[in-house]
Chain A
Amino acid sequence: MSTLQHDPDDRVQVLDEDGEVVGDVPDLSEDDLVGMYRHMRLARHFDQRAVSLQRQGRMGTYPPLSGQEGAQIGSVYALEEDDWMFPSYREHGGALVRGVGLKQTLLYWMGHEEGNKIPAEANVFPVAVPIATQIPHATGAAWASRLQGEAKAFICYFGDGATSEGDFHEGLNFAGVFDAPAVFFCNNNQWAISVPRERQTASETIAQKAGAYGIEGVQVDGMDPLAVYKVTKQAVEKAKNPGEDELRPTLIEAVQYRFGAHTTADDPTVYRDDDEVERWKAKDPIPRLEAYLRGEGILDDERVDEITEEVEGAVADAIKEAEAVTRPEPEEIFAHVFADMPEHVREQRDAFEALREKYGDEAFLRE
Chain B
Amino acid sequence: MATQQETETQNLTLVQAVRDGLYTEMQRDDDVLVMGEDVGKNGGVFRATEGLYDEFGGDRVVDTPLAESGIVGTAIGMAAYGLKPVPEIQFQGFIYPAFDQIVSHAARLRTRSRGRYTCPMVIRAPYGGGIRAPEHHSESKEAFFAHEAGLKVVIPSTPYDTKGLLISAIRDPDPVMFFEPKLIYRAFRGEVPEDDYTVPIGEAAVRREGTDISVFTYGAMTRPTMDAAEHLAEDGVDVEVVDLRTVSPLDRDTIVESFKKTGRAAVVHEAPKSGGLAGEITAIIQEEALLYQEAPVERITGFDTPFPLYALEDYYLPSAARVEAGIRDAMEF
Which A positions have Cβ atoms within 8 angstroms of B?
A: 60-61, 89, 108-113, 115-116, 127, 129-131, 161-162, 164-167, 192-195, 199-201, 265-266, 270-271, 327-328, 330, 332-334, 337, 342, 344-345, 348-349, 352, 355-356, 358-359, 363-366
Contact = CB atoms under 8 A, between A and B. Distances in A.
A347 to B, nearest CB: 10
Contact of A328 (B311, B316, B325): B311
Given A111-B132, A111-B311, A333-B315, A165 B67 contact: yes
**Secondary structure class of chain B's binding surface, majority of residues:** loop
Contacts of A108: 309
Contacts of A131: 66, 94
A193 B315 contact: no
Contact of B303 (A266, A348, A356): A348
B304 A345 contact: yes
A129 B138 CA distance: 12
Contacts, number: 135
Nearest to A192: B66
Given A113-B312, A364-B314, A364-B315, A334 B66 contact: no
A348 B311 contact: no
B2 to A, nearest CB: 16
Q: Which of B38, B135, B306, B313 has the most CB of A within 10 A?
A: B135
Given A112-B311, A130-B96, A199-B65, 13 more contacts: A61-B134, A89-B134, A109-B134, A112-B309, A131-B94, A164-B70, A165-B66, A266-B45, A270-B42, A333-B303, A333-B308, A344-B304, A364-B314
B305 A337 contact: yes
Given A129-B134, A195-B63, A332 B312 contact: yes
Contacts of B305: 333-334, 337, 345, 348
A12 B143 CA distance: 50
Contacts of A112: 309, 311
A109 to B, nearest CB: 7
Interface in B37-78: 37-38, 40-43, 45, 63-70
Contacts of B252: none
Q: Which of A109, A165, A334, A352 has the most CB of B within 10 A?
A: A165
A89 B325 CA distance: 39
Contact of B42 (A193, A200, A358): A193
A306 B209 CA distance: 70
B1 interface: no
A164 B70 CA distance: 9
B16 interface: no
Contacts of B96: 130
B97 interface: yes
Contact of B314 (A109, A200, A337, A366): A366
B283 interface: no
A318 B40 CA distance: 39
A330 B97 contact: no
Interface of B: 37-38, 40-43, 45, 63-70, 93-94, 96-97, 130, 132-137, 273-274, 303-306, 308-316, 319, 321-322, 325
Contacts of A342: 304
B311 A330 contact: no
Nearest to A333: B308
A109 B130 CA distance: 15
A192 B67 CA distance: 12
Given A167-B97, A194-B38, A333-B312, A162 B66 contact: yes
B118 to A, nearest CB: 25
Contact of A194 (B63, B68, B325): B63
A365 B315 CA distance: 7
Contact of B38 (A60, A193, A334, A356): A193
A364 B321 contact: yes
Given A61-B132, A131-B94, A265 B316 contact: no
B315 A111 contact: no
A199 B38 CA distance: 11
Contact of B65 (A127, A200, A265, A359): A200
A271 B41 contact: yes
A342 B312 CA distance: 21
B42 A327 contact: no
B136 A129 contact: yes
A129 to B, nearest CB: 5
13 contacts: A111-B132, A111-B310, A111-B311, A113-B312, A131-B94, A165-B97, A166-B69, A192-B66, A195-B66, A328-B311, A334-B305, A355-B325, A363-B319
A161 B66 contact: yes
Given A166-B97, A167-B97, A195-B37, A365 B314 contact: yes
B315 A194 contact: no
B322 A60 contact: no
Given A164-B65, A352-B303, A270 B312 contact: no
A230 B319 CA distance: 54
Given A161-B66, A337-B306, A348-B304, A194 B134 contact: no
A270 B63 CA distance: 14
Contacts of B64: 195, 199
A349 B312 CA distance: 13
Nearest to B96: A130
Nearest to A201: B65
B311 A130 contact: no
B42 A271 contact: yes
A120 to B, nearest CB: 20
B325 A345 contact: no
Contacts of B310: 60, 111
| Residue from B40, B41, B130, B305 having most chain A Cβ neighbours under 10 A | B305
B131 to A, nearest CB: 9
A356 B130 CA distance: 19
B37 A192 contact: yes
Contacts of A349: 303
4 shortest A-B CB distances, which residue pairs?
Answer: A194-B42, A111-B310, A363-B321, A164-B65
Contact of B43 (A89, A110, A270, A365): A270
Nearest to B272: A348
B133 A60 contact: yes
